[in-house]
Structure 1
Amino acid sequence: MTNAPATTPGRSPALMLTLATLGFAVNFWAWALLSPLGPRFKELLGLSAGQQALLVAVPVIVGSLGRIPVGALTDRFGGRVMFPLVSAATIVPVLFIGLFGQMSMAALLIGGFFLGVGGTVFAVGVPFVNAWFPPNRRGLAVGIFGAGMGGTAISALTTVPLVRAGGAAVPFLITAVVLAAYAVVAWLVLRDAPGRTAVTQPLAARLAAALRLPITWQACVLYAVAFGGYVAFSVYLPAYLQTGYGLEQADAANRMAGFVLLAVLARPVGGWLSDRVGPVPVLTGVFVVTAGTAGVQALTPGLMPV
């Protein structure tokens, strides 16, 4: 790896990082729209707890698996193309759910499937941000970019109040407008780091080479448990708080937002620590603390103060 590339005229790593983080937040906002409304759909459509869990899980699963082809496309075309493309593509399921897809479980599942496209933006932003920063600053840079997952907090805080104030379609229409605005800005302002070379090797060959590396499987397991666990807990948290603690829908959504906010603040800290002490000690500490707190929560202790 080389050090940070020279900046292009009118473009700086800080500006690119800011816009990438904003794109991450906007797309994750869209990606998480169904989660706060899970209890509402349960009441309207008579869903079981399993159906409600499936409804919020579908965008997460698609967004996770979709990162493989989207990451490959980012290698080929660069973040400057993929950020606005993913954002524009996410508008379609957002509008479908908002205008047509809330009348049946089947329609919600179809809309949620394609809503998963918004979750693939992570695979666009990481290589885009990495290319703008030297290796000794990439932990902090990716950590700051990762704070864009706070878009799920925006969804948690605004979706239910907007539905109550203006109707079921309002949060989806607003999100679609924001996605469209970001896609335009990203297309006009974003630039790939100077010196970026488009990959021409076939996807199958690159995927096979990656799968032969032990670190690929090790990182996949760690990422699945850490970030996968975070996503699963955050998207299902409103339903869990209502079922386990009897909270009102808006209160549960607000508490989910608080959980996401803490995770957002932790990401730059984790990246900064990784730059200084290395990722292995940071991951060790993270998993020890998470295992302990998960064990406590498994007993469904009193909501306050535990």
Structure 2
Amino acid sequence: MVSRSFLKAGHTPTLLSAFLYFDLSFMVWVLLGPLGVAIAKDLGLDPAQKGLMVALPVLSGALLRLVAGVAVDHIGPKTTGAIGQLLVIAGLALAWFLGVHDYAHVLVLGVLLGVAGASFAVALPLASRWYPPEHQGLALGIAGAGNSGTALAALFAPGLAQVFGWNAVIGLAALPLSVAFVIYMVFAKDAPNRPPPKRLAEYLDVLKAADAWWLMCLYGVTFGGFVGLSSSLTIYFNSEYGLSAVTAGFFTSACVFAGSFVRPVGGALADRLGGVRTLSVVYVLAAFGLALASFHQSSPWIALAVIMFAMMALGAGNGAVFQLAPQRFGKEIGVVTGLVGMTGGIGGFYLASSLGWAKQATGSYQIGLLAFAGLALLALAGLTGVKARWRKTWPSEAQRLGATLRL
């Protein structure tokens, strides 16, 4: 999958630095999910409060991605990423020092963790600008596989919380982030083909293009499903199947690793077969997996297999969307990444919060999962309707960018 031409085409230290920065930032972004069982027990939270607790960092990160995307195009991805990392490290250290004592404090912490979630709008442009169009899917798939950091949180946070307490885990999370920051500052470099800065208002001109809105909606389903489930699964397995927080965290990490490491595969398939074709298959598989997951399975192991299947489909879809984005918006990839990433986060906020609401209102997560399966089918219908126009109009855009079109 990683060819010799790919290794020669870009800048591997930057790609790997972007991956590590993204990976550990995502670990922190969803930290409240794996800690949710312990936090809810100590603070006496109901299902709706738990849903909002894990969904708020996702929403905060979604909105901040737009800010980060504009900053990437204005001051450069490396500088933007450095500022974001310092804010998160300082915020985690302060939260640990002062303590998180009630639900309001948890929500404030959730807003802060959104800064880590905004790393998406930095890491992907940082990597993307080093690679030619024929390698965009794989390059962004590798950088984007950093969303596996959500699995690290699920894998380690519940166990550490049992030993040290969940408040201490918040402070401990700053340590690996500090290591990643040093590596990032030493090895990451801005690509030499960075476009010149524009007025801030000009960056939002892409919203006048219908294609930007389509990409935003498509990613709102694939990444929204991925991150919404990543944030909620520890609580889900604990609530639905009576698993301990640690075991539920292991199950969650398995699902997240499966979805994360299929993302480069999705990007590579999109490079070879076309992003539209790949996405069309992805939405069918994701809808099927989510619908099947909405029914209570006879054992947690069957539930694990079903949700892993859905997460793999969603992960492949994430890679496919970002094979398409640079072909249409290569010169505006920073702000487009921010906008597309923002809607992905909003989709995750919707799923995580709706799962909590569904559990509170009906005693089951089924309505929330079925509704998101319906959104996947709606995205498929939209993609089917727009693909003919893309195949007629995007060749002119590719010619404008000097790119090779792969739809």
TM-score of the superposition, structure 2-length normalised?
Answer: 0.70
TM-score of the superposition, structure 1-length normalised?
Answer: 0.92
Partner of 1:205: 202
Give the superposition deviation at 1:81: 0.8
What amino acid does structure 1 have at the position aligned with 2:226?
Y
Question: Any residues of structure 2 matched to 1:121-132 within 5 Å, and which?
Answer: 121-132=119-130
Give the superposition deviation at 1:95: 2.2
**Are 2:239 and 1:243 equivalent residues in the alignment?**
yes
CA RMSD of aligned residues (A): 1.7
Question: Any residues of structure 2 matched to 1:34-113 within 5 Å, and which?
Answer: 34-113=32-111
Tell me the alpha carbon deviations over residues 31-58 of structure 1, each in whole angstroms, 9 at most, x when there is no partner.
1211111111111111111111111111
Answer yes or no: is the 8 Å Cα contact 2:100–2:167 preserved in 1: no
Structure 1 counterpart SS, 2:195: coil
Query: In the comparison of the two structures, how many residue pairs are matched?
Result: 296
How many Å separate the matches in 2 of 1:25 and 1:205?
Answer: 31
Residues 101/53 of structure 1: CA separation in 2 closer, same or farther (3 Å cut): farther
Question: Any residues of structure 2 matched to 1:8-23 within 5 Å, and which?
Answer: 13-23=11-21
How many Å separate the matches in 2 of 1:141 and 1:226?
Answer: 18
How many Å separate the matches in 2 of 1:85 and 1:185?
Answer: 15
Report the structure, 1 or 2, having the larger helix content. 2
Answer yes or no: is the 8 Å Cα contact 1:138–1:275 preserved in 2: yes
What amino acid does structure 2 have at the position aligned with 1:290?
A
**Are 2:190 and 1:195 equivalent residues in the alignment?**
no
Partner of 1:291: 287
How many Å separate the matches in 2 of 1:178 and 1:120?
Answer: 18
How many Å separate the matches in 1 of 2:172 and 2:178?
Answer: 10
Question: Any residues of structure 2 matched to 1:86-235 within 5 Å, and which?
Answer: 86-202=84-200, 204-207=201-204, 209-235=205-231
Give the superposition deviation at 1:124: 0.5
What amino acid does structure 1 have at the position aligned with 2:57?
P
Give the superposition deviation at 1:28: 0.7
125-134 vs 99-108, which moves further: 99-108
**Are 2:223 and 1:265 equivalent residues in the alignment?**
no
How many Å separate the matches in 1 of 2:12 and 2:185?
Answer: 17
228-237 vs 294-303, which moves further: 294-303
Give the superposition deviation at 1:165: 2.1
243-252 vs 52-61, which moves further: 243-252
Q: Percent identity?
A: 33
How many Å separate the matches in 2 of 1:162 and 1:170?
Answer: 9
